[in-house]
Amino acid sequence: MEININNKAENPLLDRTEVYFDCLYQGEATPKVLDVKNKLVAILNVDKNLLVVDKLNPNFGEGKARGYAKLYKSDKSLSEIERKHILEKNQKPQDEAKSEDAEE
């Protein structure tokens, strides 16, 4: 999976940076939101708790998806602005989180 950032725009009113990107995954399944989020965190070198992948729209048969992510400046602004279902899809499922804790 390869991610190319197309545009980064500052949004001072909402205290965030908006990131538009293309995700290329030829010959693979459409990547999960968490995988894309982890890759973006590595590319942008930011705190993963402040980055939210809002949309990931695959193009049928192309192995390519367009995405939109939001990078907040603070935890407070993220929790006040972001919708609950978007936050839930950007977190590990509870079953996996519990199994990882049990392994440690």
Residue with tokens 């894309």: 36
CATH number for the domain including 56?
3.30.70.330
The pLDDT, as a whole number, for residue 95 is 57
Q: Give the chain's largest Cα–Cα span.
A: 43
The number of distinct structural domains making up the chain is: 1
Looking at per-residue pLDDT, the higher value among 93 and 55 belongs to 55
* CA 91 to the chain's CA centroid: 10
The kind and range of the H/E element at 87 are helix 84-89
Please give the model's pTM, rounded to 2 decimal places: 0.82
pLDDT at 60: 87
pLDDT at residue 96 is higher than 60: no
pLDDT at residue 5 greater than cutoff 70? yes
Instruction: Give the mean pLDDT of 40-57.
Output: 94
| Residue 50 structural domain | 2-103
Residue 40 and residue 22 in contact, taking contact as beta carbons nearer than 8 Å: no
Q: State CA 46 to chain mean position distance.
A: 12
